[in-house]
Amino acid sequence: MGLRMLAPFVAPGLPGGEDDPKSVQRRRRVAMKYVNILEDINNQLPVPARIEFFKSSKAGGKAYQVAGGWLVRVPPPVDYETLFTGIHELGHTVNSHWRLSCLREYYAEMFAMQCFKRLNLPVTKDIESHHKWYMAFSLGQALNRGLKRVPAELKPYRKYLHKTEKLVCDGGSWKRISRYHAFVP
């Protein structure tokens, strides 16, 4: 379907920056390889989505249901992490029928993991740790919204809930508070 590609962002003046033509060519080759992987996966879906890239190196993506199909907005895939994000968002187009948002996120993550394994791409430590954090974050959100029973698929991620903390400023001092406040059964 529709695919709009932006040139991968490379900081000027740094080693491998815009002033290094070999580095730019290599980064563009790698980015186009990842774009092609994303496009191939999209074309194999029952209802291919329209993919738009926005200029951001590490921001998350978003999948929207629009008239006539799906719109997926992701950062340009320049490394395994951003490719994983793009495939995760495509997973939302396949697994959109789950009522619980935490299960929608879980199955989108599993779709991306399966695609990586099927394509023999490495699931890096960064991807694995972000996956655990993201699943715990989704579970914590669901618990805050009143989830009473943790789905069986998400039970392994309960132990990572303590890592979903945020810093807040309270009268000039910083405190760590948990993003979830519910009892975990």
| 20 in any annotated domain | yes
Query: Which H or E element spans position 81?
Result: helix 80-94
Residue 5: the pLDDT is 47
Q: What is the mean pLDDT of each run of 10 residues along the chain (185 residues)?
A: 46 51 76 89 90 77 87 88 92 85 92 94 90 88 86 88 58 53 39
CA 117/CA 127 separation, integer angstroms: 13
Asked, for residue 157, whether it belongs to a domain, the answer is no
Among 95, 96, 98, 101, smallest CA distance to 140 is for 101
Parent domain of 85: 1-96
| 124 in a structural domain | no
Residue 42 lies in a domain: yes
Work out how many domains the chain is built from and give that number: 1
